[in-house]
Structure 1
Amino acid sequence: MKLLMIDDDTGLCELLSEYLSAQGFSIQTAHDGQQGLELALQNDYALILLDVMLPSIDGFEVLKQLRQTKLTPVIMLTAKGEDFDRIFGLELGADDYIAKPFNHRELLARVKAITRRIEHINSLNVATPSKMNVNGITVNLAAREAAINEHTLTLTGTEYEVLVLLIKNAGEVVSKEQISEEVLGRRLASFDRSIDMHVSNIRKKIAEHIAGEKIKTIRGTGYVFIQGE
């Protein structure tokens, strides 16, 4: 699988390129935001590793412009302790984040969790779609699409997976820990707001097409997809 890493730390790019290449990935690198954005728009990558602090345009602007036309999975590389960067990146449509400095094995685990999901998608037989329709939202599992009254929801891969998990368990509480492990492929860390932000993004996109609460927050536990009005 081909990955794109956008980071102005050339030494880190070289080290990670060598490490990830040894794991079977093909790596392309860019060292400023504008160049990275152009590569991301012109090519198809399985995943993008995107640093926040970049020359020319920062990682947030890269992600914002990318999401106008592409849903390529993105892992944001943030500074340790910069909660705003993490939350803002997720609001803009990042799939996950990892704080610098990070362990190479942890990054590899994050990358593999997302690329495994892509491999599963590619293995599906889209000729025989399986659909679910709950409380006004239709999910086509084979085509990996969610729609409301024939209006397709523009969801990132992670948002789609979260929505499907909630719909499959409609009427039941799904914990944040379960969502993190099944969708992001990792245990939920303390004070990690990634699941909250993904659910928030899904709610906003649903609200553009249909009224009423569809996903209820169970404080301190998780979320419930409401079965009906």
Structure 2
Amino acid sequence: MAQPTILLVDDEPEIIDLLEIYLKNEGYRLLRASNGIEAMDVLKKEEVDLIVLDIMMPKMDGIEACLKIRQEKNMPIIMLSAKSQDMDKILGLSTGADDYVSKPFNPLELIARIKSQLRRYTRLNVGQPNKDHELEVDDLTINTATHEVKLDGRELRLTPREFAILELLVRHRGTVWSIQKIYEAVWKEAYLDSDNTVMVHIRKIREKIEDNPRKPRFIKTVWGVGYKVE
């Protein structure tokens, strides 16, 4: 199996140097960039499996870079930022990031999150197209082997976390899933009551799969309980 390639994007060389030590010890191949523009250049030349992306950078910050990356790429993105306010976290996740880690952070925690994201992304992308891997709701098709989502034959671009939430709800059609259960099933972590992460992801999914996100056809809100796909 080829070494997973991680792109580290941060304008603080000491942080990249520290992460490089830990990641190389885990057997990962590392690429470096100091801002969003450099990161985009790297992605044009290299195949990358996961990106660790700082938010506050010169020339092109992490938010703008994430938006541009998501126009073409689906690999997991973990945001880094010294900001720890809920709105900053929500903004990062709204642009297409799959996870968010506040500085200062424990390198071992970040390594664990990288491993988790890579496992999930690899699992979702392994296999060949096969009807056994397809889930359908009306004209919405989800292929769990190729990680493709199509609406009336048109391919939609979902992040790995968005895909995992949609797959969960479609696979259990008719079942209402609370925000807590969705978070714990997809993120594999304990849920905190103040965390708006699931709601942000549901909103982004609806923007991609619904003709009118305010009147969703696929993902229904059961007020006071959670979400379901009918």
Is the pair's TM-score, using the shorter chain for normalization, greater than 0.5? yes
Deviation at 1:123, TM superposition (A): 3.6
- Tell me which of 26, 31, 35 is aligned to 2:34: 31
Q: Deviations over 1:36-77 (max 9, x none)?
A: 221133322111000000011111111111122222211111
Aligned residue for 1:53, secondary structure, equals coil
Unaligned 5+ runs, structure 2:
none
Deviation at 1:29, TM superposition (A): 1.5
Match of 1:222 in 2: 226
- Write the mapping of 1:23-172 to structure 2, written as runs, cut at 5 A: 23-126=26-129, 129-172=132-175
User: Do 2:20 and 2:30's aligned partners in 1 also have CA atoms closer than 8 Å?
Assistant: yes
**For 1:77 and 1:147, how far apart are their aligned partners in 2?**
31
Deviation at 1:102, TM superposition (A): 1.3
**For 1:122 and 1:151, how far apart are their aligned partners in 2?**
19
Deviation at 1:220, TM superposition (A): 5.1
User: Do 2:7 and 2:52's aligned partners in 1 also have CA atoms closer than 8 Å?
Assistant: yes
Aligned residue for 1:163, secondary structure, equals helix
Q: Deviations over 1:201-222 (max 9, x none)?
A: 1111112489743212344543
Q: Deviations over 1:144-178 (max 9, x none)?
A: 21222112222112111110001011111123233
**For 1:214 and 1:25, how far apart are their aligned partners in 2?**
39
Structure 1 residues 176 and 61 mapped into 2: Cα distance closer, same or farther (>3 Å)? same
| Alignment of 1:194 onto 2:216 | no
Q: Which residue identity lines up with residue 223 of structure 1 in the other structure? A: Y
**For 2:181 and 2:145, how far apart are their aligned partners in 1?**
23
TM-score normalized with structure 1 length: 0.89
TM-score normalized with structure 2 length: 0.88
**For 2:226 and 2:25, how far apart are their aligned partners in 1?**
38
Q: Which residue identity lines up with residue 217 of structure 2 in the other structure? A: E
**For 2:130 and 2:228, how far apart are their aligned partners in 1?**
31
Unaligned 5+ runs, structure 1:
none
Aligned residue for 1:20, secondary structure, equals helix
CA RMSD of superposed structures (Å): 2.1
**For 2:42 and 2:18, how far apart are their aligned partners in 1?**
20
| Alignment of 1:21 onto 2:24 | yes
Deviation at 1:111, TM superposition (A): 0.7
**For 1:66 and 1:143, how far apart are their aligned partners in 2?**
20
**For 1:146 and 1:19, how far apart are their aligned partners in 2?**
35
**For 1:124 and 1:193, how far apart are their aligned partners in 2?**
33
Aligned identity (percent) is: 35
